[in-house]
Amino acid sequence: MGIVTPGFRGRPRSSGPDLPPGQYLTHDFPVLSAGPTPRVPMDRWEFVITTETSRAHRWTWADMMALPSETPTVDIHCVTKWSKLGTTWQGVSLDTLMSDVDTAADYALVQSYGGYTTNLPLTDLLDGQAWLAYKFDGEDLHPEHGGPARMLIPHLYFWKSAKWVRGIQLRFDNEPGFWETAGYHDYGDPWREQRYQGD
Amino acid sequence: MIEPRMDLGPHLDGNVLAGPLREIFAMDVTAATSRCASCGAVGAVAALHVYANAPGMVARCPTCEEVVLRMVRTPDAAWLDMRGTVSLRIPM
Ligand SMILES: [Zn+2]
């Protein structure tokens, strides 16, 4: 068994002013997956924000669809070195979801159906920086891209934009997630090329 | 419940593992048998379901699909996570 080299081998690397260091431009949408694709029936889907005092705020699919949505156009940067510019999404801003959540937490652990997790500071979910996204390019989000709903946090490497998201745990401590416990950076700013622990 | 106080007995530091671990990690580990920490299933490492289109390699149990082991290669290190493995039986 050979040790994997991150990234898609053999792809040409280009760069431009819109690309963070070490990234190349792609026009397709590569599918990255660390496991089977979870299939969540819409009538059982829910999104839960749990505070540091164990207070749970829940939304069913219908609840979420009743919230005001936004249509951000953003650049996305994968730690495996592809970047895709000008992607269009539809989803609910985390500012909307967090508006009634009373918390003193500093960190968030995002949790997905299927067991994936990823961590980030709570401030990175607020102020128009993050969405619970359910449409990509005008279409319902395909399961292989994280549908029915995924996080969209485009200012961080895309592993932070958890697919198949089911909730967020608000915490005082920065509990490392799935990739963060296996060598990847706790924050993951593509413009500072924070790929790995210690970068 | 009160935990009993523990007195450290005679012990060595991890340097003594160098020889034994070098012997193990030089082996072809895909020939080993692993026990899944989640469901207890025992099977060949070569039979795990490996998801490699990802920031690392994720090997899952073919019985329960939980993670058995993960490997990430950074420019200057290899990370090996075996939390999902109770044990590996490596034929010698
Ligand atoms: Zn198992």
Mean pLDDT of B11-38: 87
- Per run of 10 residues, the mean pLDDT along chain A (length 199 residues) is 43 65 95 92 96 98 98 97 97 98 98 97 98 98 96 98 98 98 98 97
d(CA A82, CA A75): 11
d(CA A161, CA B28): 35
Look up the domain containing A139 and give its range. Answer: 24-30+40-192
Q: Does B25 touch chain A (CB under 8 A)?
A: no
Residue A149 lies in a domain: yes
Determine whether the interchain pair A182/B79 forms a contact, defined as Cβ–Cβ distance below 8 Å.
yes
Distance to chain A for B2, nearest Cα, Å:
27
- Which residues on adjacent β-strands are paired with residue A58? A48
- Which residues on adjacent β-strands are paired with residue B85? B36
Q: Is the pLDDT of residue B19 over 50?
A: yes
Contact in structure between B66 and B49 (CB atoms under 8 Å): no
As given in the structure block, the two tokens for residue B81 are 């996570």
What is the helix (H) or strand (E) element at residue B19, kind and residue range?
helix B18-25
pLDDT of residue B60: 95
How many angstroms is it from A55 CA to the middle of ligand 1? 32
Look up the domain containing B75 and give its range. Answer: 12-86
Residue A103 lies in a domain: yes
Q: How many domains does chain B have?
A: 1
Find the CB nearest A35 among B65, B73, B78: B65
Residue B2 lies in a domain: no
Find the CB nearest A35 among B29, B60, B78: B60
Find the CB nearest B55 among A1, A159, A181: A159
How many angstroms is it from A150 CA to the middle of ligand 1? 26
pLDDT of residue B26: 85
Contact in structure between B49 and B62 (CB atoms under 8 Å): yes
Residue A119 lies in a domain: yes
Residue B5 lies in a domain: no
What is the helix (H) or strand (E) element at residue A65, kind and residue range?
helix A61-65
ipTM: 0.85
- Sheet (strand B33-36) strand order: B42-44, B33-36, B85-89
pLDDT of residue A7: 46
Separation in Å, CA A92 to CA A9, A38, A74, A150:
35, 21, 15, 11
Q: Does A39 touch chain B (CB under 8 A)?
A: no
CA B7 to chain centre: 29
d(CA A17, CA A110): 31
pLDDT of residue A12: 44
Find the CB nearest B73 among A3, A31, A159: A3
CATH code where residue A177 lies? 3.90.420.10
Determine whether the interchain pair A4/B79 forms a contact, defined as Cβ–Cβ distance below 8 Å.
no
How many angstroms is it from B35 CA to the middle of ligand 1? 8
Residue B23 lies in a domain: yes
Taking contacts as CB-CB distances below 8 angstroms, the residues of chain B near A196 are 74-75, 77
What is the band of B86 on the pLDDT scale with cuts at 50, 70, 90?
Answer: very high
How many angstroms is it from A36 CA to the middle of ligand 1? 14
Q: What is the pLDDT of residues B30-85, one digit of tens each?
A: 889 999 999 999 999 999 999 999 999 999 999 999 999 999 999 999 999 999 99
Q: What is the pLDDT of residues A78-107, one digit of tens each?
A: 999 999 999 999 999 999 999 999 999 999
Q: Nearest residue of B to residue A194 by CA position?
A: B74
Query: Omega of the bond prior to A148 within 30 degrees of 0, cis?
Result: yes
Taking contacts as CB-CB distances below 8 angstroms, the residues of chain A near B29 are 1
Q: How many domains does chain A have?
A: 1
Determine whether the interchain pair A35/B75 forms a contact, defined as Cβ–Cβ distance below 8 Å.
no
Q: pTM for this one?
A: 0.89
| CA-wise closest residue to B53 among A159, A70, A102, A197 | A159
Residue B3 lies in a domain: no
Distance to chain B for A130, nearest Cα, Å:
22
Determine whether the interchain pair B65/A196 forms a contact, defined as Cβ–Cβ distance below 8 Å.
no
